[in-house]
Amino acid sequence: MIAYIIQRLLQSVLVMAAVGFVAFSLFAYVGDPITIMLGQDYNETERARLAAQLGLDRPFYVQFANFVANAVQGDFGISYRLARPVNAVIRERLPATLELSLIAAFLALAVGVPMGVYTGLKRDSWLSRFFLTVSLIGVSLPTFLIGILLILVFAVILGWLPSFGRGETVQLGWWTTGFFTKSGLKALILPSITLCLFQLTLIMRLVRSEMLEVLRTDYIKFARARGLRDRAVHFRHALRNTLVPVITIAGLQLGAIIAFAIITETVFQWPGMGLLFIQSVSATDIPVMAAYLCLISFVFVVINFVVDLLYYAVDPRLRVDRGAVGGHG
Amino acid sequence: MTSTRANRPLLEVRNLRVEFPTRRGTLVAVDDVSFHIDAGEVLGVVGESGAGKSLTGAAIIGLLEPPGRIAGGEVRLEDKRIDNLSAEHLRRIRGRQIGAVFQDPLTSLDPLFTVGQQLVETIMTHLDLSEAQARSRAIELLREVGIPGAERRIDHYPHQFSGGMRQRVVIALALCAQPRLIIADEPTTALDVSIQAQIITLLKRLCREHGAAVMLVTHDMGVIAETADRVAVMYAGRIAEIGPVGEVIRKPRHPYTIGLMGSIPKLDRAVARLVQIEGAMPRLTAIPTGCAFNPRCPKVFERCRHERPDLMPVETNHAACWLHAPTLAEATRG
Amino acid sequence: MADATEMSARSAGGTAPAALQRAFDSDIFYSFRNSPITMLAAVVTLLGFVGAIFAPWLATQNPFDLRTLNLMDASLPPAWVEGGEAKYLFGTDNQGRDVFSTILYGSRISLLVGVGSVLLALVLGVGLGLLSGYAGGSIDAFIMRVADVQLSFPAILIALLIDGITRAILPREAHDAAAVYVLILSIGASGWVQYARTVRGSTMVEKNKEYVQAARVIGRHPFAIMLRHVLPNVMGPVLVIATIHLAVAIITEATLSFLGVGVPPTQPSLGTLIRIGNNFLFSGEWWITVFPGAALVIMVLAVNLLGDWLRDALNPKLR
């Protein structure tokens, strides 16, 4: 057990190191921060001063070490575009993205998993066919189009919900939340639906296909041969076995939601990290890009780690006990 | 084939027909099969892969996978029809009246639940026992099937057992609700040869002790010889010959059975070549008219090609072969 | 049963007309003929490709050529709505571009990027999968590790990153000109993992078979033998992956263009059109968004349907 955790931790650290390297390379080799910050016209003294200030005249490994040391403390320097410290900017925008993503993730799981189970168990009912058709359309609709359509219907035509922004938010420490205001809640509805739909259909289809696979196994056949009730066969045995591989994918999907938030935030002008990232890509704002990259990687690595732990807890086959495999024929 | 025994047989299968509708037409996998099993006896069902043995077993307990379905005939358990029961009634029979053991112990057990949990749930589904009572009964069963340290191992997961041990657990599971009949479908095929004998002996002993009859489906004639009281030889979805095991092995009547017995090497006799039956069992899409074996039969004659023979009595056995047709003087059939 | 002989006969070769006859008789084609939805999807996909390829002949205007645009005709509604003109079937956008023609030209880009990135991912993935499965050991471990890590990052993020980097490296004009290729590179590079995993699995299975050892003994290079035997087995699943990947690639390109980091605005793809139209939704000029949106969805839906059918048809367990 301990060995498993340590191995996973090591892997996570390696991944973060690699990502950090890529992020740093962005800093070091892509674009010219001097030009971006000072504009086209600058004289040699200004350049030298800025270069020294940014540490650009030091050898590579020194710069990398500085970068890592700073990054671990959350310091990614100054945004080229906004001329503010990157971590302050990110801290402002993080709650918006996290709130949106968590709600979308919750929706995707809470609706997607039951739908998947239902369509797996009752393959031929009309409701299953309906769900499957809807899911096919859902997978074919790009997220941004869903957002636009929802805005068109609910904001432009019906006027029920806002089409952009977060509404009023309440400040709790450094966190801002939209949960406590009516306009904040209303503003959350359309973007979270938009964000969750793609993942919802993916999860539904995944759960369904896993369920169908499991229902074909020998142990399910044997469970039926033992005369167990349908409820026990389906929900005790089949469902549990279905959910084990689903955990991994669901974890990955949750990570994907945070990334897909980029699109939703753009459509709804949601002031989160995704929108920030897009703006920084367009403007070649390297510090923000690098910071976003590192932050997102960190989130993914954490999610993967948690998923691995969950897997271990749920699947007894991974826990190879000492000396328990025994007995002769 | 109606039984003329004084005691009613435990299981009676009459004219069972199992079909698979496909786009190329309907395939008949089990064609007009009839036999019976008495209480406590072991009936071996032997034949090549694809002869229909497993499907017969699946049809009896109502576990045919769609699109397969029972298209004709009856299955009677203690003279009550079970093939036309509702799903819920069938479920109650499974495990409680008829148990099953399948081929691969590796995949027969749910990997996420302990052996004890699976035993207890089966016991509590069919018998009116508390959980504690069910658990002690489960431990008892594990001891009976020869799992050492049963009180400890009851809380182990399937992957913590070896192949032979797992099959013992499967047997325990099949017997735990005290069924009258066990359908064992190739129970030793997936096991090491050295283990096979142990398991088959265990199965036979336990069934005798618990008073359960066994329908032992296998392609291994040696297992049948060791274990069965009677044996049915299946070919292309039909029964070719059925009779007491000693008689069928020593004095086979149907040319297919003769070929089968001849092709088994024997330790006590030296032969230059093993007997081979020319050709192969026909596919379900291409079953010959008349007797299914006629293209390969060394004793074939004209009638075999046109008329399908029913099982006919030949001394102690019954064989579906025109060679043994009753003379005009005999009026009885079957 | 009988199907098994057909499959093996097909893989064993045979003359072309005989092979074609077997193909028509096969279960796959049967299930195709029996599913009207799938046939419709195939027709739509075909139409989409034809429309895109022959866009210069089918379109009434070349929207990429600024000289043919007439600003006086900007923001006209579709032909059947009051104020529209027959010349502009689906109306025009704010720069006078005919929406219908732009859809045709735009789908060119969408399909080009889609097919291109799928091909890249396929070649990369199949190649790496073969290498990984055949070489085994540390090479295999390394490639799979990279695959695992990459799989945990959504493709769109990787695509965005690659695009961002090239945007920073290249001067603006060069980036615009190469935009399509950058997109193909970024979407393709983010999608190879699925192919690699599938092919690796098959390769590892084949590698252990005796004929590979036998080939070594004879002196024939086992890699060539494996190619000949692994590839036919693996083509089915790879094709399924590719079809579904095509749908994803088209959506990804549209998304990137919508976000403004895809193709340049002078060569609008369907995503760009929707983005432009988005700005005018509130003023009621819905046609700039709705028609390209519909075209995109219909195309992707058709490809997805084909992919679904292909997966079910090639899966022997589901028959």
**Token pair for A106:** 């919750």
Q: Give the strand pairing for B11-22 and B69-77.
A: antiparallel
Q: Which residues of B touch A (CB under 8 A)?
A: 61, 63, 91-96, 99-100, 102, 104, 107-113, 121-122, 125-126, 147-148, 153, 156-157, 159-165, 170, 173-174, 177, 191-192, 194-195, 198-199
State the pLDDT at residue C1.
40
Q: Which residues of C touch A139 (CB under 8 A)?
A: 247, 304
**What residues are paired with B183 via a beta bridge?**
B100, B215
C29-76, pLDDT tens digit by residue?
A: 666 666 788 888 888 888 888 888 887 777 777 767 767 777 777 777
State the pLDDT at residue A40.
62
Compute CA A23 distance to the chain's CA centroid, rounded to the nearest angstrom.
19
Question: What is the C-alpha to C-alpha distance for residues A244 and A237, in angstroms, rounded to an integer?
Answer: 11
Task: Report chain C's mean pLDDT, rounded to a whole number.
Answer: 78
Question: What is the C-alpha to C-alpha distance for residues A300 and A28, in angstroms, rounded to an integer?
Answer: 24
Per-position b or e across A213-248, b if 16+ CB within 10 A of its CB: ebbebbbbbbbbbbbbbeebbbebbbbbbbbbbbbe
Chain position carrying tokens 């035997």:
C229
Question: What is the C-alpha to C-alpha distance for residues B48 and B46, in angstroms, rounded to an integer?
Answer: 7
Q: What would be the CATH architecture of the domain defined by A91-328?
A: Orthogonal Bundle (1.10)
Q: How far is CA C200 from CA A8, A103, C143, C238, in A?
A: 24, 37, 10, 12
| Rounded to 5°, angle at Cα C233 from C193 and B51 | 130
- The amino acid sitting at B126 is H
Q: Which residues of C touch B (CB under 8 A)?
A: 1-2, 30
| C153–A284 CB contact, under 8 Å | no
**pLDDT over 50 (residue C5):** no
Compute CA C296 distance to the chain's CA centroid, rounded to the nearest angstrom.
13
Q: In the structure, what pLDDT confidence band is assigned to residue A320 with cuts at 50, 70 and 90? A: low
Backbone angles phi, psi at C257, to 5 degrees: -65, -40
| B23–C2 CB contact, under 8 Å | no
User: E-strand spans in chain A?
Assistant: 170-172, 175-177
**pLDDT over 60 (residue C8):** no
Domain extents for chain B?
8-97+177-251
Question: What is the C-alpha to C-alpha distance for residues C151 and B7, in angstroms, rounded to an integer?
Answer: 67
A213–chain B Cβ distance below 8 A for any pair: no
B114-164, pLDDT tens digit by residue?
A: 999 999 999 999 988 899 999 999 999 999 998 999 899 999 999 899 888
Task: Report chain A's mean pLDDT, rounded to a whole number.
Answer: 80
- Percent of chain C having pLDDT more than 70? 84
Three-class DSSP labels, chain B: CCCCCCCCCCEEEEEEEEEEEECCEEEEEEEEEEEEECCCCEEEEECCCCCCHHHHHHHHCCCCCCCCEEEEEEEEECCEECCCCCHHHHHHHECCCEEEECCCHHHHCCCCCCHHHHHHHHHHHHCCCCHHHHHHHHHHHHHHCCCCCHHHHCCCCHHHECHHHHHHHHHHHHHCCCCCEEEEECCCCCCCHHHHHHHHHHHHHHHHHHCCEEEEEECCHHHHHHHCCEEEEEECCEEEEEEEHHHHHHCCCCHHHHHHHHCCCCCCCCCCCCCCCCCCCCCHHHCCCCCCCHHHCCCCCHHHHHCCCCCEEECCEEECCHHHCCCCCCCCCC
Contact B101, B187 (CB under 8 A): yes
Q: Which residues of C touch B284 (CB under 8 A)?
A: 1
B135 vs A293, residue with greater confidence? B135
- The residue-averaged pLDDT of C191-195 equals 88
| A317–B159 CB contact, under 8 Å | yes
Low-confidence spans in chain B with pLDDT less than 70: 1-6, 266-269, 271, 327-334
Contact A247, A256 (CB under 8 A): no
Q: In the structure, what pLDDT confidence band is assigned to residue C21 with cuts at 50, 70 and 90? A: low
| C30–B24 CB contact, under 8 Å | no
Question: Which superfamily, per CATH, for C116-318?
Answer: MetI-like (1.10.3720.10)
Q: Which residues of A touch C286 (CB under 8 A)?
A: 152
Q: Where in chain A is the domain with CATH 1.10.3720.10?
A: 91-328
**What residues are paired with B185 via a beta bridge?**
B217
Question: Which superfamily, per CATH, for B8-97+177-251?
Answer: P-loop containing nucleotide triphosphate hydrolases (3.40.50.300)
Contact B101, B54 (CB under 8 A): no
Helices (H) and strands (E) in chain A, counts: 13, 2
Question: What is the C-alpha to C-alpha distance for residues A8 and C152, in angstroms, rounded to an integer?
Answer: 14
Contact A261, A97 (CB under 8 A): yes
C301–chain A Cβ distance below 8 A for any pair: yes
3-state secondary structure of A70: helix
Minimal CA separation from A199 to chain B, in Å: 27
**pLDDT over 90 (residue C115):** yes
A177-206, pLDDT tens digit by residue?
A: 777 777 778 888 889 999 999 889 888 988
Which ipTM value was assigned to this complex?
0.86
C247-281, pLDDT tens digit by residue?
A: 989 999 999 888 887 788 777 788 888 888 887 77
- What lies within 8 Å, CB to CB, of A75 at 6+ separation is A85, A86, A87
Q: Give the strand pairing for B181-185 and B98-101.
A: parallel
| C30–B23 CB contact, under 8 Å | yes
Q: Which residues of A touch C160 (CB under 8 A)?
A: 262, 277, 281
Query: Chain A: residue nearest B159 by CA?
Result: A317
**Measured torsion, CA atoms of residues C127, C133, C139, C143, in degrees rounded to the nearest 10:** 60
State the pLDDT at residue C122.
93
**pLDDT over 70 (residue C12):** no
| B63–A315 CB contact, under 8 Å | no
A33-81, pLDDT tens digit by residue?
A: 666 566 666 677 777 777 676 666 666 677 777 777 777 777 777 777 7
B284–chain C Cβ distance below 8 A for any pair: yes
